[in-house]
Every structure is written in C-alpha cells, then in structure tokens.
Structure 1
Amino acid sequence: MQTKARTAKTVPTQTQFVVINEQQVLVNQEVQKAYNLIVDAATEQLRKFDLAKYRTYATVDHVKNEYKSNMISEHLNYFWNITLSNSKDGRSFIFIDLGAEALERFGSGLTNIFLRKAYELTQSNDNTGGIEYALRVNFREADQHHNFFYRRVAEGENSYVSLATVDKLPS
C-alpha cells in the first residue's frame, strides 16, 4: 500500500474590497448623490411637526464604525430608515425601510410624498438603466425600525453617530 502525503488546500484570502470598473464608480457616485438628496428630502419632511421627537434624526457614518460592514451611511428618524450600502459586487444601493407605527399614526400621506421624491431622484430621464435599480423600499411591520431609532437616540452621539433636530417650519 502506497501512501501519499496530504497537501494543505490553498484557501483564498477574503477581503472586503472589490475591484469595480470606472463606469460602476461613476454610477455609485450618482447613487451617493441621490442618497444625499433623498436624506435632504426626508429631513425637510420632518420640519412640519410640532414635537421635537418627530423632528429628530440620527446620522450613522458606517465607514467610521469599527464593525465594518457593507453599509456606508444611514439616516434614521421616527418615520424612515434610509441606508446607503454596497453589495458584494461593489454596486451601491439605497434602502428605505418604512415602519408600521408611523404609517398607522400619521397615515400614508407623508410617506407617499417622500417616496415620490425618492423615486423621482433615482429615475432614468434618458431611457437608460441609470440608477433606478439602486432604490429598494421595505416595509417593517414588526417595527424593528422604531426600536433601532430609539436605541440610537438613547445611546447618544459617538465617533460615528450624530444626532440632530431640525427647526419647525414657521406657521
């Protein structure tokens, strides 16, 4: 009986970096711009409310977070959680999570106005694919959204989380 020496299998090293082409870099920059404009639109919607709790929001800069993930940035408020993240293939996405409590308490009007703006900002105006693929809307019936928002506010600011309250629009 002849024995053969076992050789260790080569295991490829894992990295969180993905090489993407120049075109995808440009598309991701457009998604980033759309994300910023969507966050601006969300923040503007908060100015309608009398109570500060409805005008308060948290911004999370996940790039500065020691727990590295595919998330880049996040905006949380009582109504919505808006997240900019990258997929494993390097494409950027914008996720908007809607919570049941806000919809039940205030109706769908506010959210409809906000979502119309988000779709407008990501739509293709020249019949190309553009960044329409990048917008993903999710409904969170169990209201994990509120728990996460309240936890961020209760924990306060740190090196990657900032809190702010927008001024109310004058009556």
Structure 2
Amino acid sequence: MKRGKLIVFAAPSGAGKTTIVHHLLGIPELNLEFSISAASREKRGNEVDGKDYYFLSPKDFRQKIKNKEFLEWEEVYPENYYGTLQTEVDRICDAGRNVIFDIDVVGALRIKRKFPDETITIFVEPPSINDLIVRLKGRKTESEEKIKMRVSKAAVEMATAPQFDVIILNDHLENAKAEAEKIVADFIGLEKE
C-alpha cells in the first residue's frame, strides 16, 4: 500500500486556514485525514479532546518532548505548547491516507525539512492585519490581550510566507477554497475530470 502524502497548512490566527482545511476534509476523492495536534492550552467552546486536539497539561507535554514523541512541537506562547505526535502521522500514512495539518508556521517548516519529497506547505495569507483583527474579534473567544498577542505574532508569521511552497491569499473564502482544492489534488496526483 502506498503511504500517504503530507499537506501542511499554516497561517496567522484568523487567516482562515482552519475553514479551508475543514472544506478539504469534506472532499472524499482527496483521501485526507486530519492530523490532530497536541496542545497544552485550555479547550475553547465546544472543542473535544481527541477530535480537535489532544489536550495535555504543560507537564505531560514536556514529558512527551523529552521522550521524543513529537514530529514537531513549539512553545507558541509561554506554557502554551502545540505539536504533532509521530504516532498520529504514522497511523494515517500507514493506512494509505493523505495527512492534512493545520499547524503553526514553525512546525510546518520543520515537517517540510524532515520530509521534503512527501510534503507540500501551504501558507494562508489574510488580506491585511486589520482584517485579522476584525476576524479575531468576531470569534468572541479570546480576551483583548490574547488578540493583541496573536496580532503581534502575525507579522512575524507573515514574514515566513516566502519559505512555503504555495501562498493562498484569502481575500475571498470561496476562491481560496477552490485554489486549495486544486493545489492539493495536483500534489497528490488526483486526476480531475
């Protein structure tokens, strides 16, 4: 059985990458399965452990780092870790499915360095920082302080965009979804009729 490929999406918070990833997961022909990341942050809203993230305490997360259980990980904010468990990726690839990731820019570039031939990195770019602020405030899930923290990080993340294989400008969601579909279909070698 052919091992699956790795499709890695990254973007600043609020750029729309999660919406695009969920859209792609709904297309059976792409044979995608979501790589559930581990996170040491609190659950938001209706998030479910083992579905949205594997929620770990900072202490448990650090133990898994020590045990070299992560393909990639990052301390995104103090005591706020995110990472990809090697077992999660192996499980999906070994089943012959393509792995789709929704992770931070640092993790995306690490995966590309480890698996250059099996990986495509896709950066979702917001139209502007102001659009990001509007989107983050519209979520109503985070404090003003957290939003400021995410916006200041966004400028740094956007500077990494040229290091990605592809940049999708999300100034119109339906166009961004269609562009992502074509990019992924081409990468996995799916013949479109």
TM-score relative to the length of structure 1 = 0.31
Select the structure of larger CA radius of gyration.
1
Higher relative contact order by CA 8 Å / sep ≥ 6: 1 or 2?
2
